[in-house]
Structure 1
Amino acid sequence: MNADPLIRVFSASYLRIHHEPKLRSIELEWHAHLQPNEVRTGFQVGMQIAEQRQVQAWIANMTHMGPISSEDQEWIVANWLPRLRLLGLKFLAIVVSDDARNRLSIHNIMSASEQKGYTPAETVYFSSAQDARDWVYQSCCQPTSLPVVTRRF
């Protein structure tokens, strides 16, 4: 991968947010079991950074994230997902958690997102953060295989 190094733009005990300028992407790297205010704060800070930096790709790295409460799931669907759609993301990469309850939470959120039409055009699930980064890089930066057109005068 030829992307620039990730730049940490936010850090807390429960979340680190990294920005990759070349790809116009952010990665939210969640940690541990979260308190309700931490989930909402993390998503709001992520959205502010995404808006400021006009990102086109969002990587949700939930490898070490615990379950998301039903109240926070409802908040995400009602408040955060509509804003995410307005952001105009092209790519959403979700790195699946080790926690089965988190995977169920994400399934519920993404099912509601699809029903409401909030899901970005390209949403892909990964088992590793590096695979997600590679996919974003390939999607954003690799030339497509368009046919070569030769002009003759």
Structure 2
Amino acid sequence: MEKLFTTSHINIFLHAGSHKTIEIQWLDFVPSADLRTCLLEMLRLARQHQVKAWLADNRLIRAMRPVDLEWVGQAIMLPMSELGVRRLAVVESQDAINRMGVNAMLAAVLPNTQLTTSYFATLTEARTWATAPF
């Protein structure tokens, strides 16, 4: 696992293997502008490395504004699918409000993508699924 990018809000890793997997690890609450900057960098790195799977470790992120969730759906989820990403592993947030918002956004956006998504309680389970051959 290689660390590609880090800020006080996020770590972004790349897993090599049968396919490349990008992993984002949120570290705490993220203000709107920083959220967008971090996710656009993740999208750029996913394109650069031609990733096929994506792991979102949301355990420590807190509630996100509805406008940010809508932006993530349109500006990140759809382009990730268009890049050829086929698998999304989500480690759910400890914050109930975040879980509800993210789950609602994914329910609305995923039918318009090629992403197969699974939710996990642990990072180990999510990594195993995201990096497994498919």
TM-score (norm 1): 0.82
Inter-CA distance 119–96: structure 2 relative to 1 (3 Å threshold): farther
Name structure 1 gaps, 5 residues minimum.
1-5, 142-153
1:17 match: 12
Higher relative contact order (CA closer than 8 Å, sequence separation 6+): 2
How far 1:106 moved relative to its partner? 0.7
The CA deviation string for residues 30-65 of structure 1, in whole angstroms up to 9 with x for no partner, is 011110011111110110000000001100010111
1:51 alignment partner, one of 43, 47, 54: 47
Amino acid aligned to 1:89: V
1:134 match: 128
2:83 match: 87
CA contact (8 A) 2:15 2:131 kept: no
1:77 match: 73
2:118 match: 124
* Aligned-pair identity (%): 26
User: What CA RMSD, in Å, does the superposition of the two structures yield over aligned residues?
Assistant: 1.4
The CA deviation string for residues 112-152 of structure 1, in whole angstroms up to 9 with x for no partner, is 1135x1250x21000111111111233x27xxxxxxxxxxx
SS state of the match for residue 63, structure 1?
coil
Larger gyration radius, structure 1 or structure 2:
1
1:40 match: 36
TM-score (norm 2): 0.92
Q: Which runs of 4+ in 1 moved over 3 A?
A: none
How far 1:81 moved relative to its partner? 2.0
